[in-house]
Structure formats: C-alpha cells, structure tokens
Amino acid sequence: MSGDLKQKLYLGIFARGIVAALVLMLFFTPALAETNTETPSAVTPPADFVGPPVPKDLPALAEPTGPPASAAVVSGGKEEDLLLQLIINDAELEDVVEALRRDGKLYLPIGQLSGILDFPITVDPVTKTAKGWFIRQQNTLTLSEQSGGVKGKSVKIPPGSVFSRDAELYVDSDLLHEWMPLDFSVDMRRMTLGITAREALPFQARDMRDKKRQALAQRGVAVKDQTFKKLDIPYEAAQWPTVDLTISPSYDSTNKGLRTDYSALAVGDFGYLTSRLYAAGNMPDDNLSDLRLSFGRDDYEKKLLGFMKASSFRFGDINSASLTQVATPLQGRGFTVTNRELQRPDNFDVTNFIGDSKPGWEVELYRNGTLIDFQTVGQDGRYNFRAVPILFGNNQFRLAFYGPQGQVEEITRTVNAAESLMEKGQVSYNFSADEKNKSLFGVSDQTSATNPAGFAAAGEMEYGATKWLTVAAGGAHTVLTDGEHNYATAGLRASVQSVLASLDGAYDLSDSTYSTRLSLSTEFHGTLVSAQQKFARRFFSEENATLTNPINRQSVLRVDRQFGDLGASLSYTRNGFDSGRLEQIWTNQISKPLFGGMTFTNTLRYDKDNLGLDQLNGSAFLRGYFARILLGAQADYQARPVRQLDTVKLDGVYPFSPTINDRMVVTRQVSGARSTQVENTATFDLKRYKLSVTGRANDDGDYFAGLTFNMSIGRVPDSGKWILSSKTLAETGTVAVIPYIDHNYNQLRDADEKSPPSSSIRIGNQTIKVDKHGTAIASQLATNLPVSVRIDPENQQASPLWTAGVDEYKVVPRAGKIITVPLPVFETSQIDGTVSAPSGVSPQNLVVELANADGQVVRTTHTAFDGYYLLEGVMPGAYKIRVSQESLSERKLRQDDAPSLTITVSDFFIKDIHLVDAGAPASGPPFGPPMPGSAAIVPPNAKRDEEEASAPKWEPVQTASADGPPMPKVKPEDVATEPLSPDAAALVAAAQPEIPAAQAAPDAPQAQDAVSPAPVSPRKSLLIVNEAAPAATDKQPHIIIVNNLQPPAAGPQQAHKPSLVIVNDSFQK
C-alpha cells in the first residue's frame, strides 16, 4: 500500500472517529441543572435566546413540497434517494439525476436520464411504460415493469429491476449498462454519477462533426457552418433597460386615506456594464423609501479584469463578501470582486441566498423538496436567507416566489459542499470593501444602534494543496457597537473517503479573542450526518453582533434520511454562554406526499435551558392541488408550557380560465386576542400586464381595498420591437430567436427572406412556437449559464429538407439584456441509396463519403445492416459519392465508379453504389463515360467496345407518344449495362414489346437471367429498368420507357446491338 493511500485511510478512520465522539458527547450530555422545579404558566425567552424561530406565517400560495405520491410500492428493501451530479466522459455537467439506491444497487430514472443524454425516450406515467430509441433509430427500446424490448428483441426483466415511482420509470443501472453502450460509476464523496460512453452520444457526435467541418473550412471547403456556435454578446455603452414595474393604489380604513405604492427595477447595459437601479416609494407623500444603484459584470468563464481572471465584480450598492465566523453579507456602498465559481456556496457548510424581488412577494426556500424557511419581501425589495446549512452531497435549493396576484416564479440552484474544494494548484479569491449599512444616495441606509455604519473590508484566498485538501487564509476589518475590529482567519477543507471536513479559526487582533469551529459531514447507509463543534472566548463578530452574552461553546448534530417518500430530519444544538446559561434546541421536520398531489409538512421545535425555559411549539402545513384548485392549510401550535392552537390559515386559488384566477385567504387568530380576517384577490392576466383587485376585512370592522398593476417592459435591440409582459423579466434572461430561410446561404437576413412557417425553436428546456412576427421569445432564463438555441426537430412542421445554418447556438443570458439570435435556415438536399457488395461480404458499417468537385470530403455516414445510407443537409454543388478507401481495404472490395450529381435545387436524390471484389477484372461502360448514378457494368468486350466507339450515336428527342406523357431525355452514352436480378428480368419480360426474331442481332450482349434483348429499330423504344433495393426502400423495381430514340441523320440504317440498361437512381423521387 502506498504512503499516500495509507495517509488517506488513517485520516478517514480519524475523521469517522471524531464524528462518533461528537455523537456520544451530544447524546450523553448530563442533564441540565434545573433552577426552577415548577413549570411556569408562560415563559418569555431571554434576550440572548439563540436559534431560528418557528415560522408563524407561511405564505398562502405554495407549490407542493417534496415529491408526489409514488405510483407503485416497491418491495424488497429500503430505498435511499440520491441527488447525483452528472459527469459524462470526465466533463462535469450542471444536470442532477434523482437516483435511488437499494440493496447495494443503483436505479436511474430513464426519462430524466434520456432527456439529459438527448435520447428520444419518453415515459408514460399512466401506463408506466417507456418507449423510444437511443443513439440510432434502429436502437429501439420499449420498457415496462414486467417486460421489455431492445433493438427489436425481447429482453428479460428480473423482478424489481424496473419500477415506477413519481411519474418516472427507474431501471437497474446494470440493465442499462447491458442494453446501452454506457458505463456507470458513483462517487459518494462528491455525490456524482460518472457516465462513460462506449459510443459517441448525440451531442458528442455533433461536436465531432463540428470539428470535422471546422477542419474542412480551414482548407477552404465551402460547407455548412459549424455545428455549435457560441454567440458572444458584447456590452453596450447604453441600451433600453428591462423594467419591472408595480403600481398599487389602495384605501385602508385604519389610515383613513388613499395612497399609492410603487416600485421599479431597471436592469440593462450602461457604460459597458450591467447596471441595476431600484426605486420604491409611495404617493401622495412623495416618500422615496428606497433607491439603489450598482454596476458590474459576471462571467462564468472567468475572463474579467485581465490577469485577475475574475468571475464577477460589482461596485455601487453591493452585498459585502462573507468570511467564516467573521463577516456576513451586508448591504453597503463599495465594491466587490471574486474569481470563485458563480454558483459555489459562500462557505464550506453554509451558504446565503440574497437578491431582489418585489415588495409584498412571499419567498419560500426549499432544500431537496422540503420547505426550510420563508420571508416576505419588504419595501426595500430584497430577500435575504443567511447561513443556510448545506448537507452532505448535492443540495437542490429552490426559491419559490409568490406574488399577491397569484404569480408563481422559481429559481433553482444545486449546491455541493465539495465544490469548496480546489483542484490541486488552483487559487481562488473573494474580496469586498465598503461603507457598510450605507447606500449610494443615502436613501436606503440601514444603520441602527446595533447595526452601525463604518468602513468594512473582508477577503479570503484559497489554495488547492492537493486534490483532497484546500487551505485558506483571510482577514477582515469592520465596525461593531463597541468600535472597530480587525480579524485574521485560517482554514482547512478536506475530503477523505466519504467524509467532508473543515477546520476554521478566527482571531480578533483588537481584543485578543478567538473562535474555532470543526465541521464534519458524511453519508452512512443512506443517512446524511453532519456535526459541528465550536469553541470561542468572548468572540464578537458580524455573525453574533446582536448578542450581549456571547456563546463560548456550541455543539450541533443533524441527521437527514429519506424513508421511501417520507423525508425526515432531526437536529440537536447545545449552546453554552459566557454567563453560564446552557441551552438545548431540538428540531424535527417531516415531509410526506399524500393523496392527489397534496403534501404534508410538520416542523417541531423544543427549547430548554437551565434557567427555566421549556417550550415546545410547531407548525403544520398541507399544500397541493385538489382538482384545479391550489389549496393550502397552515396551523401554528404550542405543546409546552401550554397546549394551544395559535393561528389557522386556509387559502385557495381557483383558475376560472387561463387568464383569470381568484384567491381567497382566511386567517383565524385562535389564541390571545381572537380575530378573523378574510382577503380575496381577483387577478386578470392580460399577457402584456397583470391587473388584480384586492379586498380585505376583519371582524373588528377594518377593511382594505386596493388595485395592483404589474408589467415588465423590454425592447428587442435588432428589431426595435417592444416586449410587454406580465412576467418579471428584469433579473432574468430573455432570448429572442428570429429564424429565416437563407436562400443565398450567406447567413445574413436579406429583405425578402421570411421565417419558415409552422416552426418551433428549442431554447434551453423550453419549446417556443414562432409567432406571427417571425420571432420565438423565451423569458425567465437563468443568467450567467450557457443555454442552447436550435430548431426543435420534434415540433418542426416545415420541409424536412430545411436545416439550421448552425445546428446549435450557445448563448449566455444576462439580467436585463434581451438577446437576439438570427437563426438561418438552409434549403438542403438528401441523398440516400444502397451499397451492394459481392455475395458473402456484409455491406454494414461501411463509410460512405460525399466529396465535392475538388475531391474533398464534406459529409460522411455509415451504412446500415442492409447497406442503406443517408446523407442529409447537402448544400448545392457538384458531388461524387464513394465508399471510403479504408472501408474498401478492410473488406478487400473495389468501387469502379463513383456516382456523381450536381445539386442546384433542394430535393431528394437516390444513388446506389455497387462494389466488386478487389481482385475482379476491371470494367468499363459500353457507351463511353459512365452516367452519374451508374454502378456495376458488364465485363469488358474489346471488340464490341471498338465497334461501339466507331458507330454513329443515337440522338435523344423528347416528344409525346401514345404510351404516355413526354419522358426525360436520356442519352445512350449516359447509361451502362449490368446483369439483372430475376425479379427485374421478369418485369422486363412482361414490359418488353414483341419484336420479330428476324430483327434480333446475333452478337447482341445478353443480360444475365433476363429475356434476350432485341435490336432497337428507328423510332422504337429504349427500355430502362430502375432497380431500387427492396430491403432498403420497400419499393419494387420499376421500368421507365423512353420513347422516340432516333438514329443518326446520316449514315446507313443499321441494326445496332441493344442492351438492357439499368439507370440506378438516375431520377429524383
């Protein structure tokens, strides 16, 4: 065993030992000393009471939390839900797969996985089946819980290997490995799912085609543009901003007056930066309550500020940088810069969610489908969730925004604690300097007695010492209630086996106090375990600045587990204060899907200390859809020191139509001063704006009436078209795609080039129909992350010969910027056919090449099992079709002639290719040069070739005949003879006109297995057989008769030797 491996093993054992010690310490702590043996009738928590309060007023509108009820009960062992981030061929993706682990086996959702891998496989949750294909269309897949078929063959499904759950079909990864060219591996430390493809996946194939086309373009070959094209959207000196506007006139009987509240958030390019301006206030008091302005840029590729390679910078009204145990994100006027990943957590074991929204909106924070916190946005238009714990593995956070008019919006983010680990040799930094609690214009200052203003700075640098160890060092200066403080910090973050650990220390240089904290998290048999131990000596910082009695010791233990569809968490916190007070806090939360999509969540909190505090309270929630109605119920209650029901809230949203809904909320205060309040809001979504009417009254006689108007305004830069929307647009991305048929292939939209009819565009995960103005607009996209733009093949109703000039664009949406993407659509052609090979040689998997007039390959494809090939997206030009020399050499074959054609218009073409043994004698066509599309020819006959060369040439004419309409002109020198198959010979015999035997020429070449051909007399018919491959096209060979072939005007009327000729694919379909 190597020394490095031994070191990791010992560290893993040591880390697990620390976890075990913490568990023993926490659960076997001696009972707290009771200073009051009598239970008081009511106990008020002390001023230094620590811990998050139990939510007392959850918003009425909420989506169901947690997964819906399972469609089937799976027996045979306990299940463990896993959120695994995908790594495909060593490329890390943003996608997360909701996998299951049971009895040591990994089960994957085939519908979700197929969507990520670009496999057109769909899951029907009603029939509990999956159907589609993967990589190639012949790789079909049909699947149910009891049976399956792969590539047209039945496959055995072991019991329990496929089961339905949460509208998905979960499949044993071993079966997927057997059916598909995919290898799976799971890293439980980083919670990742590695997929190694044994064949090129669809997006990888597109990438390879892109590289080939780029190489061809470098050689000057005129081919279709590259498959992927990243659009770099430059910043502008000035542009029309995107504005979210809210105006709310109202009358309140308690104030006995009219007032109008307003807020506006404008985001857009200014000074080659992204600018944000927020203003809020009310009239007629002309009271401007909030005014903030900031400028900056974000770049996920870290190309900002030259050598600094920053990922983000901002100045003006900012949120300051965080520093473990010392600094929390606070509002101030200054600047901030970092090169950290834009989506990584702020600290190793906690993160923050801070942003802008509209006053009065309710924001819920979910982690892995469970509600963990909520806030109501104040007049400053900001939400702020600080120090949110991060569990081991992937944490799927969802911010749900609920507007007072029934609006529902979401932001999702996946966080993994392991993201804080740096790669070996990598360096990251995070820094800010500001005047905290002050705003740029002095309107939005947040100073108070416990929150003083003053200069503050915080910064930290991290270095990847090894792949599993990161070291950090930082410092900070801030102002607290007792004056200025200077701090120095140091930290270690490590990953050993399946344990993540961090050790952080902070030292206050101003008064020689300190704080240290050890954090551990791991997964043990499906249970997520996290623990913290903190020791401090009268340490004050921004994290605990409001406490007069600081904590000198803190122990935290948290366990989370999924029991089928029941999610449960339990946490225990023990706080020791400088004053001698000891506090214990137990928190339990369960979440379970119920009937009809309803979800039940209950939160309990028990607080106890050695000074008499003994309190148990909780909140229960029931949310979900019943028929078309979104229902919600909430109850806040106490169990100790008294048993009582505090508050009950019921709400429902009923959609009368897609544009009209009504929301009613009834709130009953049961304890204390009892009261009942009823509120009703009718909302009209008119697409361009949203209008709502609200009425509220209580049993004390107070009432309220208000009108709220919401609108977002933006302008498409290229077209000048204004966008008016009832959705919020300012803080999200918007992409406007303008497809057009590029007739001249210059990738520039000319005046006469219109949009393709009935088309749709795929923008990220949205499918958008092109509107009557020829534009497809996708809004509310995630910012600073690449999104793909392409024509949607599943919904494309236009010509199948239309193809995008660029198969897929990559754009990076940014806040306030409406990005326009002109998408050229080319009119192309398709060429298909069949490659035939001598008996005993398989025509499968041959490489067919399409070469331009210069002989350079511009397209390649592979033949199917029967030799069928298809070349798509062929641009106008002159081409030859050939089998690659490598394929010919491998199977010892030869292609004597390459079919050629010149494409001037978009159409379908058929071109067959005939191969012979490499050792077969060379051959040549009887009528001179081969016709485009001809293939195998009769063995050479030197005497006949000499006679044919000196014979007068027949001239084609095109006239009507009794046999039918005019036929295409076909020159004899453009055709070649070849043996006929028995089926074709029978057709020829049936169609051949009877000619007296006396006219037959004795030296006429005979077609194998066919009728004896007769000489063509003047103005007789030339018989042409087009023998399509029945296996490939399911069409029978057909015969074309070209009439009126005239002999030469001069020269003797001699009988020429006719030949039965096969014109392979010489005509378009």
Confidence of residue 472 (pLDDT cuts 50, 70, 90): very high
Same domain, yes or no: 90 and 184: yes
Residue 285 forms part of a structural domain: no
Under the banding of pLDDT at 50, 70 and 90, the label for residue 276 is very high
What are the angstrom distances between the C-alpha of 851 and each of 28, 206, 221, 756? 79, 20, 10, 29
Burial class (CB in 10 A: 0-12, 13-18, 19+), 30: exposed
Q: Are residues 762 and 804 in the same domain?
A: yes
In whole angstroms, what is the distance from residue 408 CA to residue 410 CA? 7
Among the ranges given (223-232, 367-376, 538-547), the one the predictor scored with the smallest mean pLDDT = 223-232
Residue 7 CA to residue 418 CA, distance in Å, equals 20
What tens digit of pLDDT does each residue of 739-756 get? Answer: 888 888 787 888 888 888
Tell me the residue length of the chain: 1069
- Which of the residue ranges 394-408, 703-717, 758-772 has the most confident prediction, judged by mean pLDDT? 703-717
pLDDT of the residue at 883: 93
> Parallel, antiparallel, or unpaired for β 916-917 and 893-894?
antiparallel
Measured on CA atoms in the order 336, 340, 341, 346, is the torsion positive or negative?
negative
Going by pLDDT thresholds of 50, 70 and 90, the confidence category of residue 1059 is: very low
Digit-coded pLDDT (tens) for 1005-1027: 333 333 333 333 333 334 444 43
User: Distances from the Cα of 831 to the Cαs of 76, 868, 911, 970, in angstroms?
Assistant: 53, 11, 7, 21
Which residue range is the domain that position 743 belongs to? Answer: 205-234+732-824
Are 945 and 1048 part of one and the same domain? yes
Residues 944 and 1058 in one domain: yes
**Which of 525-539, 961-975, 1055-1069 is modeled with the greatest confidence?**
525-539
> What is the reported pLDDT for 486?
96
Between CA 305 and CA 314 the distance in angstroms is 12
Closest CA to 89 of 181, 192, 196: 196
**Bond before 593 cis per omega within 30 degrees:** no
| More confident call, 536 vs 1022 | 536
- Is pLDDT larger for residue 440 or for residue 774? 440
Q: What count of other Cβ atoms lies within 10 Å of the Cβ of residue 471?
A: 16
Q: In this structure, are strands 722-725 and 808-811 parallel, antiparallel, or unpaired?
A: unpaired
Q: How many CA atoms lie within 13 A of 154 on its CB side?
A: 4
**Are 211 and 172 in the same domain?**
no
Clarify whether residues 937 and 969 are in a common domain. Answer: yes
Instruction: Say if residue 6's pLDDT is above 70.
Output: no
pLDDT confidence band for 982 (50 / 70 / 90) = low
- 3-state secondary structure (DSSP) of residue 45: coil
pLDDT of 859 reads: 86
In this predicted structure, which of 307-311, 493-497, 959-963 has the lowest mean pLDDT? 959-963
Closest CA to 551 of 585, 580, 521, 528: 580
Give the best-scoring range by mean pLDDT among 41-55, 146-160, 465-479, 708-722: 465-479
Q: What is the mean pLDDT of residues 654-658?
A: 87
810 and 860 belong to one structural domain: no
Structure-block tokens of residue 797 = 């109703």
User: Which DSSP letter does residue 67 get?
Assistant: P
Closest Cα partner for 621 from 594, 604, 599?
A: 599
The stretch 241-249 carries a mean pLDDT of: 93
Helix (H, G, I), strand (E, B) or coil at 669: strand
Q: What pLDDT sits at residue 691? A: 93
Domain end marker among 155, 180, 199:
199
- Does residue 794 share a domain with residue 849? no
Give the pLDDT score at 742.
Answer: 84
Residue with tokens 């900056």: 296
3-state helix, strand, coil in the chain (%, to 5): 10, 50, 40
Q: CA 794, 798, 800, 801 torsion: positive or negative?
A: negative
Written in H, E and C, the secondary structure of 338-396 is ECCCCCCCCCCCEEEEEEECCCCCEEEEEECCEEEEEEECCCCCEEEEEEEECCCCEEE
pLDDT at position 237: 93
Residues 1054 and 955 grouped into a single domain: yes
H/E stretch holding 984: helix 982-991
Residue 685 CB neighbours (<10 A) = 21
Rounded percentage of the chain residues whose pLDDT exceeds 70: 73
Q: CATH code at 148?
A: 3.30.457.10
Q: What is the pLDDT of residue 148?
A: 87
**According to the model, what pLDDT value does residue 379 have?**
63
Q: Which two tokens stand for residue 783?
A: 């910012």
Q: In terms of Cα–Cα distance, which of 683, 687, 686, 684 is closest to 695?
A: 683
In a domain, 606, yes or no: no
| 1053 or 435: which leads in pLDDT | 435
Is there a domain that residue 107 lies in?
Answer: yes
- Residue 802: pLDDT band with limits 50, 70, 90: confident
pLDDT of residue 504: 94
Domain for residue 185, yes or no? yes
- Answer yes or no: is pLDDT of 275 > 60: yes
Distance CA 805, CA 468 (A): 45
What mean pLDDT is reported for the chain?
76
Task: Count up the domains in the chain and report the number.
Answer: 4
Residue 446 counted as domain residue = no
The CATH number of whichever domain residue 771 belongs to comes to 2.60.40.10
User: Which domain-ending residue is among 180, 199, 218?
Assistant: 199
Dist. CA 969–CA 958, nearest whole Å: 6
Mark whether 835 and 799 lie in a shared domain.
no
Neighbouring residues of 368: CB distance < 8 A, sequence distance ≥ 6: 81, 83, 391, 395, 396, 567
Q: Are 947 and 1032 in contact (CB under 8 A)?
A: no
State the Cα–Cα distance between residues 317 and 441, nearest whole angstrom: 9
Q: Which amino acid makes up residue 215?
A: A
Is residue 405 very low, low, confident or very high in pLDDT (cuts 50, 70, 90)? low
Q: For residue 785, tell me if it sits in a domain.
A: yes
Tally of CB atoms within 10 A around 18: 15
Q: Residue 47 above 50 pLDDT?
A: no
- Return the higher-pLDDT residue of 879 and 624: 879
Percent of the chain whose predicted confidence (pLDDT) is above 90: 29
Q: Is residue 33 part of a domain?
A: no
At 728 the pLDDT is 87
pLDDT of residue 52: 34
| Cβ–Cβ under 8 Å, residues 208 and 200 | yes
The pLDDT confidence band at residue 876, using thresholds 50, 70 and 90, is confident
CA separation for the pair 921, 894 (Å, rounded): 10
pLDDT in tens, 625-634: 777 788 889 9
Residues 948, 894, single domain; the answer is no
- Assess whether 941 and 1046 both reside in one domain: yes
The pLDDT value given to residue 394: 72
Does residue 291 form part of some domain? Answer: no
Q: Is residue 205 pLDDT above 70, yes or no?
A: no
- For the segment 174-201, the average pLDDT, to the nearest whole number, is 84
- 823: which 2 tokens? 């998408």
What local confidence, expressed as pLDDT, does residue 203 receive?
A: 67
1028 vs 535, higher pLDDT: 535
Last residue within a domain, chosen from 824, 843, 859:
824
Which amino acid type is present at position 806? V
Number of C-beta neighbours around residue 981 at 10 A: 16
Picking from 438-447, 807-816, 868-877, 991-1000, which range would have the lowest pLDDT averaged per residue? 991-1000
DSSP letter for each residue of 862-923? E--TTSEEEEEEEPSEEEEEEE-HHHHHHHTEE-S---EEEE-S--EEE--EE-EETTSPP-
Cα separation, 41 vs 640, whole angstroms: 9
Residue 544 in this model has a pLDDT that exceeds 80: yes
In the prediction, which pLDDT does 607 show? Answer: 95
Give the residue-averaged pLDDT of 580-607: 88
Rounded Cα distance, 81 and 86, in Å: 15
CA distance 945 to 693: 94
| Pair of tokens at residue 686 | 């008119």
CA–CA gap between residue 113 and residue 1035 (Å, rounded): 38
